[in-house]
Structures are given as structure tokens and as C-alpha cells.
Amino acid sequence: MTTLIAKTVSKACVPIIILFSISLLLAGHNYPGGGFIGGVMFASAISLLYIVFGLKYIDSLYRYRWDKWFAAGLMLATLTGIGAMVFRYNFLRSTYLTVSLPLLGDIKLISTTLFDLGVYLVVTGSLLFVFKTMGEDE
């Protein structure tokens, strides 16, 4: 049983933690961060909800299949690596494409962002699958 204070604070903190995890994911190519630590931060936010509100309550709100997140992330990371080989480069070769947008100017689209997104999904899916499986009652 948790207190009203814990429930209120977790409701306020979880969106902030999720936004921070996304910023870590997106900044990972040029600054400290990336898919791994971003995924750990996202998993910690959802784990906080599991701890404070309980598995049954959170599952009644939404029923995510964390193993599917793991599979999708693993496929995305693998296809990113193989995608370079299609164009006769080494496995996991990084490249970028510069796109000019009217209001934002020049933006670089980097292929390692897709790899980091795959790692993000793998870490999030695996950690939350383990947390949920170990926390369920039989």
C-alpha cells in the first residue's frame, strides 16, 4: 500500500522522466546519452508506476507487450546494420542526409539515430518484460 504523496509525486515525475529519456535518446549521437541510457530511464519511469500503483492497476489502464518492443527494437537495430551492407558499405556504417526545411533550416538525418532507437526499444522491452514477469502473482 502506497501513500497519497507517493502517487501524486509519481504522477508528476513520470512524464518528466519520459521526456528526459527521449532527450537522451535524441542527443546520443553528438552528446552523452543514447539508446541504452534513454531506454533505462524510460523503464525506470514505468517501473515507478508499477511500484507505486501496482501491476494490476497499470495493466488495467494499458496492456503493453514488452516482448514485442524488444523484438521490434532488435529488428530495427539489425536492419540498420544490414542496410549499410545493401549499399556496399561495412556493417553498421553511419551516413547522413541533409534536408532543408522552411522554418527549421538545414537538418541532418543520421542513420545511427535508427540504431539508437532500436537499442532504446530493446533495453526498454527487455527490462520491463523482466520487471513485469517477476512482479506478477501466480
pLDDT tens-place values along the chain, 138 residues long: 678 999 999 999 999 999 999 999 988 777 778 899 999 999 999 999 989 998 888 888 888 889 999 999 999 999 988 888 888 888 888 888 888 988 888 888 888 888 999 999 999 999 999 988 888 765
Single pTM value for the model? 0.86
CA distance 100 to 124: 33
Number of C-alpha atoms within 13 angstroms, CB side, residue 134? 8
Question: Taking the domains of the chain in order of start, what are their residue ranges?
Answer: 4-135
Question: What are 64's three cell numbers?
Answer: 503493453
- Give, in order, the Cα–Cα distances in Å from 107 to each of 73, 93, 104: 24, 20, 7
**Residue length, the chain?**
138
Amino acid at 46: I
CA distance 50 to 41: 14
pLDDT at residue number 1: 61
CA distance 91 to 3: 51
pLDDT at residue number 137: 66
